[in-house]
Structure 1
């Protein structure tokens, strides 16, 4: 009997967060010296666990280059040598953090889960946060601490009431083909959007009092799953409504057109304003610290 067969395999669900600015997305990049994903660093850290079988992370929610995560999730299997008990979830999380070689990645929490648990398929809810800033007439007017963490708009204000009205047309179960970018592996473009909200941010602590012309806004979207770049395309359309380029009723027309190449829906909001806020699994409690984290370190 080989060493792998004599050892016990333990499966874990791990929550982790990252600033996506320096990564080519969350997924591992194989065979490239220049592009690298968050998963590359996680799996490099996991090598130090001395698992009998190499540890692979199965990511819950793929994010593009430049997109951030307050809390993403993945499952992984660890097989210790024969006679060694499985790591406790706390020890596993501490060990991964100790061996992570990039300061923009942090493991939040780990759970022991059944051997057939799947981080992507078992997720019951995903929430994305998109951050906007208005009143930024030139790029150098945005705080260096906010760059790559929001979409800075030149406009001095947004018609938030119109954006909220437009967002209501997106709620419910629809064919979201009009908001899907090419390259999606999804077999169906039907999704159920449970929540779409537009609200003012209380204010960034990184903005000085004399920069009070700047106003921050949060858009949040919740669904069990999303299509490729769906959130960024919906955001771009809602911003167009807020700027007066579209009427709220036109969002319903765009949705019902199922046409991703229409004149108003081809724009994609920049990646750097998008955060995966949370991934939830039914009765399994998400990482408590992840829910309290935000781009500014406070609950939203």
Structure 2
């Protein structure tokens, strides 16, 4: 009897505070990545193949996701049919229970589908909190989930003006932190959306009405290493009057990573990957091959 192999696209969310990032950490590293836990959960399904969860979108230590994605293959022994999507979701969530990681959707996809390369866009939201005099005023429900700007009033109009400078297609070399793959990836990216809006918070509505939350949203097919955190840091500096809109234009035009001001990048804990988008045709279920 023939073994059954199936490829799945899964969407998952996590609070990134306790992880080394979404990518798998080596065995000698004490802090694990989200991928370590996903692969351990898949192994408990007892597939015949070696388990590899291929993540679509990297996130760093402390960064969160409301919707990241990945693909994985599961080979079952003869006589066992491929898992139904809902069964796979329920089983993985059962094994992930101790962790702040949850599978939110699953799709059976074609065997040549690739979660990273088939993605048509990624959306990040950076959460800010203003109206805080001291870090102890951050509500417990927001701890490590936003950047608390102490004693700060933001000029939101200036932030929006600077955001329009970043919107569109540019060489974002200045907003890329140096990494091992930096020389091999094109620094030219297209920002389809740069948006600043008031944010929502359960704690703000009920207990902390003096705190104002803001959300900076960025959408593109892909981003450079730490690009969103650098762009956020620059926009916040504009809102605080530490940078001008014209200086943001100058930074963009310089196209040099080392030109970015030291210590201006936003901290990791306010950043959320909120969506990885695919063409509907890639999400057809019950694929027969």
TM-score interval, smaller chain: over 0.9
For residues 21-51 of structure 1, the C-alpha deviation after alignment (integer angstroms, 9 at most, x for no partner) is 1111001112125110011111111011111
Asked whether the 8 Å contact 2:22–2:35 carries over to 1, the reply is yes
Corresponding position of 2:195: 197
Query: Which whole-Å CA distance do the structure 2 matches of 1:261 and 1:33 have between them?
Result: 29
Q: Is 1:235 equivalent to 2:232 in the alignment?
A: yes
1:174 is paired with a residue whose SS is strand
Asked whether the 8 Å contact 2:204–2:212 carries over to 1, the reply is no
Corresponding position of 2:276: 279
Which residue, 7, 10, 15 being the options, matches 2:11?
Answer: 15
Query: Which whole-Å CA distance do the structure 1 matches of 2:262 and 2:161 have between them?
Result: 17
Corresponding position of 1:217: 214
Query: Which whole-Å CA distance do the structure 2 matches of 1:184 and 1:197 have between them?
Result: 30
Corresponding position of 2:286: none
Q: Is 1:269 equivalent to 2:266 in the alignment?
A: yes
Corresponding position of 1:66: 62
Corresponding position of 2:31: 35
Which residue, 245, 249, 265 being the options, matches 1:252?
Answer: 249
Query: Which whole-Å CA distance do the structure 2 matches of 1:29 and 1:148 have between them?
Result: 22
2:93 is paired with a residue whose SS is helix
Deviation at 1:65, TM superposition (A): 0.5
Change (3 A) 1:74 1:134: same
Which residue, 106, 109, 117 being the options, matches 2:113?
Answer: 117
Corresponding position of 2:148: 152
TM-score, length-normalised on structure 2? Answer: 0.93
Deviation at 1:264, TM superposition (A): 3.3
TM-score, length-normalised on structure 1? Answer: 0.89
Deviation at 1:183, TM superposition (A): 0.5
Change (3 A) 1:87 1:206: same
Deviation at 1:248, TM superposition (A): 1.4
Deviation at 1:200, TM superposition (A): 1.0
Could you list the runs of 4 or more consecutive aligned residues of structure 1 that deviate by over 4 angstroms after TM superposition? none
Q: Structure 1: any 5+ residue segments left out of the alignment? A: 287-300
2:150 is paired with a residue whose SS is coil
1:77 is paired with a residue whose SS is strand
Corresponding position of 1:26: 22
Deviation at 1:184, TM superposition (A): 5.1
Query: Which whole-Å CA distance do the structure 1 matches of 2:117 and 2:29 have between them?
Result: 31
Change (3 A) 1:285 1:135: farther
Asked whether the 8 Å contact 2:48–2:77 carries over to 1, the reply is yes
| Paired residue total | 281
Query: Which whole-Å CA distance do the structure 1 matches of 2:260 and 2:73 have between them?
Result: 46
Query: Which whole-Å CA distance do the structure 1 matches of 2:39 and 2:260 have between them?
Result: 42
TM-align CA RMSD: 1.7
